[in-house]
Structure 1
Amino acid sequence: MYDAIIVGARVAGSPAAMLLARRGHRVLVLERATFPSDTFSTHFITAPGTALLQRWGALEQLEKRGVPIFDHVLLNVAGNVINTREVFGPTQVCSPRRTDLDVTLRDMAAEAGAEVRMGSSVTEVLFDDAGRATGVRVRDADGNVTEESASVVVGADGRSGIVGRSVNPEPRDEHEIRGSGLYAYFDGFDYVTESAGMLDGAFVFAFPTGPRSACIGTEIDRSHDDAVHADPAAVFYERIAADPDLERRVRAATRNGRWHSGDLQAGWFRHASGQGWALVGDAVCLKDPLLGHGITDSFVGAELLAAAIDEGLSSGNLDAALARYDEALWRHLRPIYEASRDAALSFDKSGDDLFAAFMPAQMLIQEELAMVQAGGPTL
């Protein structure tokens, strides 16, 4: 029997497994995919998330893989460029491809002592007669089906994961997502640092992922979804044309691979725990990607969840500790969740109006960075 079974080995599951294993707990991680593999992502990791990567020892590993780290972002607001270093001071940020980030975190979980099984699909969450989660039924890559049991089953398998579907948690908040993301990877791209543009009718971004490579894209109102599906390249180049310097550098680069577009239509914040189960990452908190804060939310959740499970297993009162996690997660993530939800109500407005909606959340992110630097998050 395991102390914890974690379903999902990406940016929520692997850090939670790593932190629990470092505390001496027996952890099983089950991931249906094989790595390296891409998944739709914001890529950008805000300063609090990057600080957590540094705390864990992961930032150094990402740098060894060629991921560039920067101390500022350039914001183009309707033609006026703002250097965030001049506003907030130097704060480290990065935008690794998920083929680098997920592999790094998975490997660190395994190195910490977690048992990680790739290509393993959970087909059922198991419950006892009292409704308590007790384990999972899992099918491996060869089709073999086994049952595994644990003190707690963790759903870190995304917005449509089987753990969330099985426990059907009550929502704290639900909202419509108005933004539609579109991006591609480019090689031979000339960059100085992370950059984003709040332009009339669109948000554009260029996030360096490696030496002279970047994830470049746009977020626009979902009313343009039909155009995105019909001709993503036309929509992309029309939007970045509002920033002539970015357009010049993109046209000098070479697109590597297909276009990626998002299909998020609904966001939520759900209750994150119950009898013998917990959720973390997109399984509990899903919002518009405008702020690029989803990966950081997953990291913060992993820290809180690992602390709660450790406390619960040590005290013998796991359900009480998981309830504390549920409340702590809401307390920590709610301000930026609500700011992100409200900032992204509409994209069909001026760059100045987008910036005005964007900045309150940036102030909250700076407060979260200070919390991480002070040793948080805490239950």
Structure 2
Amino acid sequence: MRTDYDVIIVGARIAGATLAYELGQAGYKVLLVDKGRFPSDVLSTHNLFNNSLAMLREMGVLDKLLATGTPTYKQAYVQLEDAVIKGIFPEVNGESECLCIRRTYLDRILFEHACSLECVHALQQFRVTALLREGEVVTGVEGIESGGEAVQYKAKLVVGADGRRSTIRSLAGSKCLASIPTDFASYVGYFKGFCQENEPCTEFYKLGERIAIVFPTSDQLHVVGLMFPLANADLASRMKANAETVFREVIQSGFGETSFALRFQKAEAAGPIRGLLGYDNDWHEAMGKGWALIGDALSFKDPAVGQGMHDAMYSARLLKEVLASHGLENFQWEKMAAQYESELTDKCQPLFQVACEMTRNVPYTPEQNMVNRLIAAHPRATSAFLGMYNHANGPGELGRLIGEMLSQ
């Protein structure tokens, strides 16, 4: 096995596998490593809006994902206090359907898709322990292989695609540029026998201090997310002791006047309820001398905005374009980093800011309730609201439209 590569990617899930495929297609020699082994699950809401499906189709992997039988959807039902927003996600790049596919399928299929390329070599159960350096420039990794042997691999660039607790980010010394702690605990479970009222859709509820999210997913299941304030220590303690029972109690008490709560009574858990007790919405320095970050290693944001999967794929594809425009020889790290940071900021920062707002447990003001009712009542505003989430338009476009409506 060779020990010298163009790019080493640490983390082989959606961000890392996407980058490995894109670079392999371009002829780069890639080493893709992961501390785990596929297929394996990970705590995630794993939703892909139709703009992300457009990227998957361009990669030639969408048909493999659809072959799992995971249902697609194109509608949303959003209840924000007394405002009910119902509509269809705007089409993006010819794609109208969204997909919430389980990570056991998604990550394995993307990993195998990347590894099918001759330029991509993969190592599973490989744990990075250090970065190699020549002066200030990162030149490779040192790690432990599955058999316990310590080895070194060299590359012109090392990429951290290893999640929100990224080892590469820490070893590289990437600066944290923004960090907004959430006010919520977040729990996720899979359920069978949950029926939606019409065709498959995503459901989102924010009533008082509680949030619930539903997506149709693989294996004839629905994934249900539940969020409540971290400050409710008694509830968090009870959830630890008996997660499913308390999960159901919170849904019935918090959303009891909705059809969601009634339909959920008939659903049966298809596995354990898993939770995340506190997290930061963060944004880190994206590139330095010999290293770069993509996906959650770069920026983790509140799962309620559903942007993690898109940002993983987008940052991977953007990094490939940055490398293509500068080449792999005689790196101009400052120029490359500036281009990468600038384009990431333009594309991903608006919804990062939305996530930072959503992660705060602050009641809607009377003015915001009025705006939500306005969005619900006008199809153009509904389309622009849903279009924020699939990048058909930005939050600014929705704000301008609301301003026009209020001024009439």
TM-score, normalised via structure 1 length: 0.88
Of 314, 339, 348, which aligns to 1:333?
348
Please list, as runs of the form range in 1=range in 2, the aligned pairs for 1:92-241 lying within 5 A after superposition.
Answer: 92-113=97-118, 114-128=120-134, 130-191=135-196, 192-231=200-239, 232-241=243-252
Of 280, 283, 292, which aligns to 2:297?
283
Deviates more, 1:148-157 or 1:287-296: 287-296
SS for the counterpart of 2:226 is strand
Please list, as runs of the form range in 1=range in 2, the aligned pairs for 1:338-349 lying within 5 A after superposition.
Answer: 338-346=353-361
Contact 1:5 1:150 in 2 (8 A): yes
Of 323, 341, 357, which aligns to 1:309?
323
Contact 2:83 2:372 in 1 (8 A): no
Distance 1:132 1:354, change over 3 A: farther
Deviation digits for residues 195-254 of structure 1, max 9, x if unmatched? 222223211112111242111121222213541342333442233221542233323222
Deviation digits for residues 139-196 of structure 1, max 9, x if unmatched? 1111111100000000010122211011121232221222221121112332332222
Q: Which amino acid aligns with 1:344?
A: T
Structure 1 residue 79: deviation in Å? Answer: 5.9
2:77 maps to 1:66:
no
Distance in 1 of aligned mates of 2:112 and 2:6: 20
1:377 corresponds to: none
Distance in 2 of aligned mates of 1:361 and 1:337: 16
Deviates more, 1:147-156 or 1:265-274: 265-274
Structure 1 residue 258: deviation in Å? Answer: 0.9
2:5 maps to 1:2:
yes
Of 25, 33, 37, which aligns to 2:36?
33
Distance in 2 of aligned mates of 1:222 and 1:308: 40
SS for the counterpart of 2:39 is coil
Deviates more, 1:61-70 or 1:46-55: 46-55
Distance in 1 of aligned mates of 2:354 and 2:83: 23
Deviates more, 1:280-289 or 1:74-83: 74-83
- Residue ranges of structure 2 left out of the alignment (5+ in a row): 376-381, 395-408
Structure 1 residue 355: deviation in Å? Answer: 8.7
Deviation digits for residues 23-63 of structure 1, max 9, x if unmatched? 11100011001111111112222332232222222222111
SS for the counterpart of 1:249 is helix
Contact 1:173 1:268 in 2 (8 A): yes
Contact 1:120 1:141 in 2 (8 A): yes
Contact 1:180 1:225 in 2 (8 A): no
1:15 corresponds to: 18
Distance 1:107 1:167, change over 3 A: same
Figure out how many residues of one structure are paired with residues of the other and give that number: 368
Q: Which amino acid aligns with 1:51?
A: A
Deviates more, 1:253-262 or 1:40-49: 40-49
Q: Which amino acid aligns with 1:195?
A: E
Structure 1 residue 335: deviation in Å? Answer: 1.0
Contact 1:201 1:220 in 2 (8 A): yes
- Residue ranges of structure 1 left out of the alignment (5+ in a row): 372-379
